Structure 1
């Protein structure tokens, strides 16, 4: 199985998990979907939100449904970003934590867009030329790149809180918190500037995966009955998968290439039904 398919499968399964948690709890994803308690019909809206994630995630698993499913998830995550996170940034522009939360959702929009832009052809429905093809993939990569420094700054500004999540068997917790923050920033700049973008995106995906394996899986094992732990694991997994999707879009680029024109290349996904 190709790395592109592994990223897509993880992305899909993490969304399905988040959706099922929302459906069964009749609540939104904690922290990530800060819907006020007083919103009319909140439980019903949470149920519908969960259903979209379940159906959209399941659709991403099927090659024949990849185009419509990735389009739905792109629109859904964009609405999620604009309705829930951008207002928080506007209301509290000096609180980096709101920017960090916004950036995490941007990674989901970018990954969904990469999937749609790489797979959609004029024969597919829905098809929007402006959102598909090589140019659209490049814009989605830039969106992903812009998000990474914001996540990195969150690690640096909230170094103590980040350090508290570093596994106990590792020394120098604050050092690791700062190192990962700097690494996020460096990866974002490398991708945005097309300097070793494939290597930067791949290392970023591996780092995100390390958070999932060493922080959230042990937390779920320690507190398997807590919804918060499962939500955190699903959130970390879907961000990791987003990183792998973006990294896989560079599979036609040389690992150590400094050529801006070559670094913008991408290989469309195989047609539906052939993957």
Structure 2
């Protein structure tokens, strides 16, 4: 439901602004003649996908479209930035964020893309799709963790929003969240408390979304888009965490490749 709500909000924002989602949907060809038309088309697709996820009858077909759409977003809009400027940690962080959302879409595809005879999607069906989503999350978490740490070191104690400046050692806390994402990656990779680690990561990102971006909504489009994307990232991690629901909270020996 959180994933669906965020997709609906992203689509609505795109329709209002007539543009893509800022840094998270940068078109490689910035002077593309059909940019506005593409932006509106993406907004309509995102709105339709969000609505489709809300209803049981439309959820399977929606998931079959959602996952390829996110893969296309990841490959077409994020990978070129890393390829052209691999020294820019921001490009890696943006790639990691969209990869996490894609991991969530992969979980939905694995669980809802069809049943019985209609499930003919190869290795992404069921447990195969869950493993793929977990691997994608493992790869993405160090990217966002490293970006947070580098940005925190560069910005110092000014890394926090003004209403959080009273917090002791803002840079230290920001670095701690980045370390937390990297630690979650290692926990999932090695099978050390994977359910607890993934759920804690989702909870941390949810707190950051509400505390860091929500109070800034009055400033306009940038904060609004950042809040929506942050909710999508949180939902992506949450969906992967839910794949461990049958694993005890503090069980070990369940590495990422086992379902």
- Is the counterpart of residue 106 in structure 1 residue 103 in structure 2? no
Post-superposition offset of 1:237: 0.7
Q: Quick one: distance in 2 between partners of 1:263 and 1:200? A: 16
The root-mean-square deviation of aligned C-alpha atoms, in Å, is: 1.9
Partner of 1:214: 211
Match of 1:184 among 181, 184, 187: 181
- Contact 2:131/2:257, CA 8 A, preserved across alignment: no
Post-superposition offset of 1:123: 3.8
Higher fraction of helix: 2
Partner of 2:4: 12
Aligned positions of 1:1-275 closer than 5 A:
9-35=1-27, 36-123=29-116, 127-159=120-152, 160-161=154-155, 164-166=159-161, 167-220=164-217, 222-223=218-219, 226-260=220-254, 264-265=258-259
Question: Structure 1's 263 and 34: CA in aligned 2 closer, same or farther, altered over 3 A?
Answer: closer
Post-superposition offset of 1:115: 1.0
Question: Structure 1's 125 and 18: CA in aligned 2 closer, same or farther, altered over 3 A?
Answer: farther
Q: Quick one: distance in 1 between partners of 2:70 and 2:144? A: 18
> Structure 2-normalised TM-score?
0.92
The runs of 5 or more residues in structure 2 that have no matched partner are none
Post-superposition offset of 1:165: 2.9
Q: Which segment is superposed worse, 130-139 or 149-158?
A: 130-139
Q: Quick one: distance in 2 between partners of 1:56 and 1:23? A: 14
Question: Structure 1's 102 and 262: CA in aligned 2 closer, same or farther, altered over 3 A?
Answer: closer
Q: Quick one: distance in 2 between partners of 1:62 and 1:206? A: 26
- Contact 1:197/1:263, CA 8 A, preserved across alignment: no
Post-superposition offset of 1:126: 7.0
Deviations 1:155-187 (A, max 9, x none): 111114485235223211010111011101000
Q: Quick one: distance in 2 between partners of 1:156 and 1:19? A: 31
> Structure 1-normalised TM-score?
0.87
The runs of 5 or more residues in structure 1 that have no matched partner are 1-8, 266-275
Aligned residues: 254
Question: Structure 1's 121 and 70: CA in aligned 2 closer, same or farther, altered over 3 A?
Answer: closer
Q: Quick one: distance in 1 between partners of 2:89 and 2:30? A: 23
